[in-house]
């Protein structure tokens, strides 16, 4: 009877421990690989409509000499973003597909913000405007006129149809632009 309690349908305790050890080592190796990949990719950047707000994942915005901002995360793997644009229904903008190297935003109060990749880091430069750090991961373009909105969006890249441009005529048409590592 003692021998039968040590076996589970043909499996010995030693065999079960070996399998458990191999599965545990494989899981640990996968976890380490995922941690490495997460650490080397630049965080996703979201630009929300209405007021121009830049949100970044897994890093913080840091000032790189007024008025420029960057992040304190890892360097980018490459010199491009993958862009995804969301607009309100009824807005006609071209499909954005392909790599993007620069984003330029113009607001209805004539401010301009440019996002570029500089030495494998994203650099945000408010051309004539002011960016305010609201939280460690959130920058907001300070409006010079109440009710200002994103009026033009220009994306420069190398994909089909590049460069892309879209014009908005009222607040709320531009909802979200997501930029992630290619």
Residues 47-68: pLDDT tens digits? 877 678 888 877 788 888 777 8
Instruction: Provide the β-strand partners of residue 47.
Output: 54, 177
Give the pLDDT band of residue 17 (cuts 50, 70, 90). confident
Query: Which is nearest to 132 in space by CA: 177, 50, 69?
Result: 69
pLDDT tens-digit series, residues 67-124: 788 887 766 676 777 788 888 877 777 766 667 888 898 888 888 888 887 777 788 8
Selected residue with higher pLDDT from 156 and 66: 156
Weakest mean pLDDT among 5-14, 103-112, 165-174: 5-14
Q: What is the pLDDT of residue 32?
A: 62
Q: Verify that 7 and 80 share a domain, yes or no.
A: no
The total domain count for the chain is 2
Domain with 47, as residue range(s), is: 42-181
Q: What is the pTM of this model?
A: 0.69
Q: Verify that 79 and 7 share a domain, yes or no.
A: no
Q: Verify that 72 and 24 share a domain, yes or no.
A: no
């Amino acid at each position: 009877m003692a021998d039968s309690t040590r076996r589970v349908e043909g499996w010995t305790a030693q065999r079960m421990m070996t399998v458990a050890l191999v599965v545990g080592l494989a899981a640990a190796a996968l976890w380490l690989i995922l941690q490495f990949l997460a650490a080397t990719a630049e965080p996703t950047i979201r630009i929300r409509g209405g007021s121009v707000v830049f949100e970044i994942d897994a890093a913080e915005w840091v000032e790189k000499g007024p008025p420029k901002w960057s992040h304190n995360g890892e360097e980018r793997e490459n010199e491009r973003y993958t862009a995804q644009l969301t607009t309100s229904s009824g807005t006609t903008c071209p499909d954005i597909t392909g790599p993007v190297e620069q984003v330029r935003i113009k607001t209805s109060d004539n401010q301009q913000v440019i996002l570029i990749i500089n030495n494998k880091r994203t650099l945000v430069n408010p051309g004539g405007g002011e960016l305010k750090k609201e939280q460690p991961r959130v920058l907001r373009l300070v409006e010079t006129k109440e009710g200002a909105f994103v009026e033009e969006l220009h994306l420069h890249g190398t994909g089909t149809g590049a460069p892309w441009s879209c014009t908005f005529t009222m607040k709320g048409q531009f909802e979200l632009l997501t930029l992630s590592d290619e």
